[in-house]
Amino acid sequence: MFKLLKNVELYTPEYAGKQDILIAFDKIAQISESIDTSMSLQAEIRDCSDMFAFPGFIDQHVHITGGGGEQGPKSIIGPLDAAELIKAGITTVVGILGDDGVGKSMQGLLMKARSLDADGLTAYTYTGNYGVPPVTITGRVLTDIAIIDKVIGAGEIAISDFRSSYPTRDELAKLAHEAVTGGMLGRKAGVVHLHVGDGKSGLQPLVDLLEATDFPVSMFVPTHLNRNKNLFEQALQYHSNGGSIDLTAGENTDDGISVPECLSRLINMGTGLENVTVSSDGNGSGAGDSQTEVGSVMALFNDFRTAVMDNGLPLPQVLKTVTENVARVLKLYPAKGRIAVGSDADILMVGKASLMPEMLISRGNILLEGGNVISIPN
């Protein structure tokens, strides 16, 4: 019921020095320089003096039921094991279908999200696939978001990609209306999560929509914006106009720009990383359009680590792109995305020397310890 983490060096994501953290059930109950529970509570105590504590990572773009399928049935990727997310320090995940709304279904996605919850994580989904109109559960994006607890937005809807349906401005407007209204009725983010392909027009369809309508810019989350250099230039412009931009971890192609490099550029330009998020595209077809390998959710942690250790970027700022910023975009903040009293007890602890995941606590349960995954009883 009670867990006490002693002497951990805390990033909330802001640096907060050496602290003790008391967890009660699934929440963070107290944070202070010295907590003594011996007189009042039976707490499980861990000495964490060789670890940093971060909020659990939030990955808003994961093919939890498996992506692929674009090279025929043999290329369909299977469902993601919770252990992969746990080893990667991810405590909150948003599952997506991707292109394949035939081999995979929204019902399957929803059930997989429930299964990840049972494994101790927090899982959500978007409703839809690449094409417009998208596949849904109830027949409408609006109703899915309004009444299905786990559905927090529409996505991933494709634009500027030969696999997209090239939605017209009116079609995108209708979709945005469904998402924003469903979000209002269901008290969700109601975001439209947009897969942006390598197509000629890049972000332009979204920019045109925003110019012609009054939808709040914050409800759109275009992703894969580091997949080619022109698109990243467009993304910088879009971001400077107040838009949120999502980068895909593990990008290592000649055309693309890696996440650590993108973050370096944003910081060096003085733009900062507010409204910048990173997701893994995990368990879909591999990074860089390689259709042969399966993308790993670990790419998210690897890029975070490289940005801090090799590129020397400020840890709190980089950490926000996979925690607080994502929680804000998805309106999960302040329950998610920070370590503070009253927030969910989602804590990733990494070795100070290795900067690798050592312990993961999700909704108060220890799911990883000493690098080993621990399954919780169902």
According to CB under 5 A, which residues from 152 to 181 bind Zn ion?
156
Using Cβ positions, the residue closest to Zn ion within the complex turns out to be 195
Burial class for 60, CB neighbours closer than 10 Å (0-12, 13-18, 19+):
buried
Q: Using CB under 5 A, which of the segments 87-95, 151-159, 225-233, 293-301 binds Zn ion?
A: 151-159
Nearer to Zn ion, 284 or 357 (CB): 284
Asked if 227 touches Zn ion (CB under 5 A), the answer is no
Nearest-approach distance from CB 333 to Zn ion, in angstroms: 24
Nearer to Zn ion, 222 or 357 (CB): 222
What is the SS3 assignment for 66-87? CCECECEHHHECCCCCHHHHHH
Nearest-approach distance from CB 224 to Zn ion, in angstroms: 6
How many residues belong to the site for Zn ion (CB under 5 A)?
2
Nearest-approach distance from CB 291 to Zn ion, in angstroms: 13
DSSP string, 197-263: -SSTTTTHHHHHHHHHS---GGGEEEE-TTSSHHHHHHHHHHHHTT--EEEETT--SSSS--HHHHH
Nearest-approach distance from CB 193 to Zn ion, in angstroms: 9
**Residues whose CB is less than 8 angstroms from the CB of residue 111 and which lie 6 or more positions away in sequence, other chains included:** none
- Catalytic residues, which ones? 281
Q: How far is CA 280 from CA 3, 7, 94, 283, in A?
A: 30, 31, 11, 9
Nearer to Zn ion, 112 or 195 (CB): 195
Asked if 195 touches Zn ion (CB under 5 A), the answer is yes
Nearer to Zn ion, 94 or 267 (CB): 94
Residues forming the site for Zn ion (CB under 5 A): 156, 195
